[in-house]
């Protein structure tokens, strides 16, 4: 397991990089998959560090758990697959 200090340092580095790119990057750079992924990782690290509450992290502001559940329900309705059977 990583130390809390390592997690904080990585989060701070990602926050600085993503903020800089958002503020000064071209539309293509701001819309890149790499930037979105880095922002998501930064959010996850903030949750691990208890800077974001679990309820907020599950909300549409972050991982949008309800939307994911809706997608899974749609897959169950349109296929023979069930989430409860998935391992």
The pLDDT value given to residue 25: 97
Q: With cut-offs at 50, 70 and 90, classify the pLDDT of residue 73.
A: very high
Tokens found for residue 28: 């293509």
pTM of the model: 0.81
Q: What is the pLDDT of residue 15?
A: 96
Closest CA to 5 of 53, 45, 36: 45
State which H helix or E strand residue 24 sits in. Answer: helix 4-24
Q: In this predicted structure, what is the pLDDT of residue 65? A: 94
pLDDT at 20: 97
The pLDDT of residue 34 is: 95
Segment 6-55, tens digit of pLDDT:
999 999 999 999 999 999 999 999 999 999 999 999 999 999 999 999 99
How far, rounded to the nearest angstrom, does the alpha carbon of residue 75 sit from its chain's CA centroid? Answer: 22
């Amino acid at each position: 397991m990583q130390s809390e200090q390592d997690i904080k340092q990585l989060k701070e580095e990602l926050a600085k990089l993503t903020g800089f790119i958002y503020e000064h990057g071209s539309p293509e750079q701001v819309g890149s998959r790499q930037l979105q992924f880095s922002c998501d990782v930064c959010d996850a690290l903030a949750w691990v560090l208890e800077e974001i509450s679990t309820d907020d992290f599950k909300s549409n502001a972050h991982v949008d758990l309800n939307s994911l559940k809706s997608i899974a329900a749609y897959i169950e309705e349109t296929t023979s697959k069930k989430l409860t059977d998935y391992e």
